[in-house]
A and B are shown apart, each in its own frame.
Chain A
């Protein structure tokens, strides 16, 4: 398997892909089993415009709802995320690890290496789409559900090509910059903005066609599940991918390769300028190494800035005026929305500003944004230092292991708080700008609960980081746990089942905090869970041998 760059890339990545695809297959089976047991008439009563918008066929059946719930949202985000991780790690990843020189010391051209790595990306996306197609036809057979009229294969083809596009975007950005972090952030940003834009724009009269600018539109815009493959849409995604790949080839061949990637931040540049050197020296130099907590914070400040800005501006401020613009249309939806479907989004009523914010901002994006930050900080807190082999140096100083855990945990809590605060400020400003009159106390309550959910999964990441010293494990397990518990909660809400209480998400929006205010009991459950997980991290780190390397 180590014979070529192509096969080595496959070898490096197949585990992550397998876990992602297997999780989606399991979720599909679970969703289908749940939909089979509930009364689907709640969907058939929905307005046709809405059904079309979310990709549910007018004569909704179990299979269509399941594919839509699992593959169209979670599936596309997960597969897109995997493709981005692969794409950003291609040339830029080798540069960051300092292995590019060794690799190109062999008789291989830069073009050859990029082609091989991109080919591996294409191969794994193809295999993933095929595996999801197999799971998509196997699940209904196992459960005895009819899939007549469904084009599962067509949808998975769209899914694979769509994911590939984000992956190749990451390849292109990485090829030009040599920075895997920038490549991943830009591509993930494009994916999330597309996801949100394609959800919102069709609701605004006259802006419907703008959605076509965003790549997410070409995933499900033609309803491939109902209508089969849309070759035009596939050609758009394939063409853009090819163009991006060509751009990447130009980029990687025209610049100096980095021997080991060291980011030059804005502060670093200010530090070099005599006019700003003094202030920047404080901020970028001695101040950021004043303690373990502050140094940890400085390592993740870029991520915090991007996520906080996204939550403040896009998911907060912008949503208020958008709601004002579409208010009448949304009210029509609200009148016919069944209670059960509303529950799927954590409660609320889309005809009200609170319900709208709940669905657009709080339902999915806010916990994801929080978890991106808390899991990143939590997972890398201890395991990151071990994999970078700096933990030995850190602990050669007179600091207890418990102090290292405490300071890293403190950074995670503060960062979660900052994202929560940015969301609160954004949503409050959005409500004020749109004249929506939402209760600021209730907004604060929803943000506090969201922050607590983020901290709970971040604490799980930190615990695993402390117990194992393996960053990958500390990322994948909490992400998987969050995904499963979100689906469990959503399904339990529809089903009216009590087992939703086992999901942390039940304690997040279950009480409809934007309408009813703070649910102190729910907050206590989440806070207790967080504290317990953090408390376990101390003995877990204290007792074990440090890993020597990743």
Chain B
């Protein structure tokens, strides 16, 4: 089972009456890969996850996990999957330990030493009733139950909700560890910095349509860079007219801030004709900027 595609969807579509929640979604999550699934609220991320988890049934198309059909073989699939839903709800009258025991009883094959290790790493409180826990502590219980049976595929919907930055860092380390051991991760998130840190590839979804599906490095290479220049004299913004790839130019006396998509040589050549370039610094655009670009410009695959 190790070499099978971890998650595969083909033309996956879900309609609620006239509302198109998900349209013709085709994607793969490869073995040993962290796949980041990005999109704003209502884009179709949770619909996708609930469909592959067989909570809801597709209007058309199909999905499989580890080569098994998500509907027909859903029970077998769940032996190999760790799942953390968005807006996690647990049984308020059970303690964290009772909650994990309940799911361990239903799932089987849970190594309690591993649970203890996860608990310690995340600093989770398992002796209190879930209803008395803070949202962050509740989320830790959810994270532990997703990891506790060493699944081959982790499906997590907004997993960092409520986790503080230190715990988020530990959580990301846990993701990297399971991936290094051969597991795959399908991660939906609003926290773009998190996806940027852990994901190998991302899919961007908007209004139910997949509008981008690329590796993080490939997306970045296509992105605009932010450039900050210090010049010897006051700058006339018109100097950038006609330079391909220059955008959003802001001039403040000797300083210029702009976004640039192209070879630096062309930009510097134009400037060197009229000014002394005193200093230059560039910053690679992060995923957030790329993400916003996709949304603003209505890019389609």
Residues of A within 8 A of B (CB): 260-263, 268, 285-286, 288-292, 295, 299, 388-400, 545-546, 548
Interface residue stretch chosen among B36-44, B75-83, B279-287? B75-83
Within 8 A of A (CB), among B5-58: 46, 50, 53-57
13 A-B residue pairs with Cβ-Cβ distance under 8 Å, sorted by A, are A260-B132, A262-B131, A286-B98, A289-B99, A291-B105, A390-B91, A391-B55, A395-B54, A396-B53, A396-B83, A397-B103, A398-B78, A398-B106
Q: Which of B54, B75, B90, B97 has the most CB of A within 10 A?
A: B75
Least CB distance, B80 to chain A, in whole angstroms: 9
User: What does the 1/0 interface line of B85-97 toward A look like (CB < 8 Å)?
Assistant: 1011111111101
Contact status A289-B85, CB under 8 Å? no
Partner of B98 from A260, A288, A546, A548 at Cβ < 8 Å: A288
A393 to B87, CA, bound (A): 11
A396 to B54, CA, bound (A): 9
Contact status A398-B107, CB under 8 Å? yes
Contact status B131-A546, CB under 8 Å? no
Contact status A299-B105, CB under 8 Å? no
Contact status A260-B50, CB under 8 Å? no
Contact status A546-B89, CB under 8 Å? no
Contact status A289-B98, CB under 8 Å? yes
Partner of B101 from A285, A393, A545 at Cβ < 8 Å: A285
A400 to B106, CA, bound (A): 11
A61 to B68, CA, bound (A): 72
Partner of A392 from B85, B98, B130, B145 at Cβ < 8 Å: B85
Closest A residue to B56 by CB, please name it. A545
Contact status A285-B97, CB under 8 Å? yes
Contact status A262-B132, CB under 8 Å? yes
Q: Nearest 5 pairs between A and B by C-beta?
A: A262-B131, A289-B102, A389-B89, A545-B56, A396-B83
Residues of B near A261 (CB, < 8 A) are 92, 131
Q: Which of A389, A390, A397 has the most CB of B within 10 A?
A: A397
Residues of A near B79 (CB, < 8 A) are 398
A193 to B102, CA, bound (A): 38
Least CB distance, B81 to chain A, in whole angstroms: 7
A516 to B154, CA, bound (A): 62
Residues of A near B95 (CB, < 8 A) are 285
A252 to B102, CA, bound (A): 36
Least CB distance, A272 to chain B, in whole angstroms: 10
A472 to B86, CA, bound (A): 25
Given contacts A285-B101, A389-B89, A397-B103, 7 further A-B contacts (CB under 8 A): A261-B131, A262-B129, A388-B89, A393-B103, A398-B77, A545-B57, A546-B56
Least CB distance, B115 to chain A, in whole angstroms: 14
**Chain B interface extent, by class:** 35 or more
Contact status B92-A392, CB under 8 Å? no
Least CB distance, B121 to chain A, in whole angstroms: 21
Residues of B near A392 (CB, < 8 A) are 50, 53, 55, 83, 85
Least CB distance, A156 to chain B, in whole angstroms: 41
Partner of B92 from A262, A391, A400, A545 at Cβ < 8 Å: A262
A194 to B169, CA, bound (A): 61
Contact status B75-A400, CB under 8 Å? yes
Least CB distance, B108 to chain A, in whole angstroms: 8
A396 to B53, CA, bound (A): 7
Residues of B near A397 (CB, < 8 A) are 78, 103, 106-107
Contact status A393-B129, CB under 8 Å? no
Residues of B near A389 (CB, < 8 A) are 85, 87, 89
A390 to B79, CA, bound (A): 18
Q: Which of A291, A396, A399 has the most CB of B within 10 A?
A: A396
Q: Which of B81, B89, B90 has the most CB of A within 10 A?
A: B89
Least CB distance, B125 to chain A, in whole angstroms: 14
A299 to B94, CA, bound (A): 10
A413 to B94, CA, bound (A): 24
Residues of B near A399 (CB, < 8 A) are 75, 78, 106
Residues of B near A395 (CB, < 8 A) are 53-55, 78
A268 to B88, CA, bound (A): 24
Residues of B near A396 (CB, < 8 A) are 53, 78, 81, 83, 85
Closest A residue to B85 by CB, please name it. A392
Residues of B near A400 (CB, < 8 A) are 75
A429 to B79, CA, bound (A): 51
Known contacts A545-B55, A545-B57; decide if A285 and B98 are in contact (CB<8 Å): yes
A80 to B141, CA, bound (A): 42
Contact status A262-B93, CB under 8 Å? yes
Contact status A286-B101, CB under 8 Å? yes
A299 to B93, CA, bound (A): 9
A397 to B75, CA, bound (A): 7
Known contacts A289-B105, A398-B106, A400-B75; decide if A390 and B131 are in contact (CB<8 Å): no
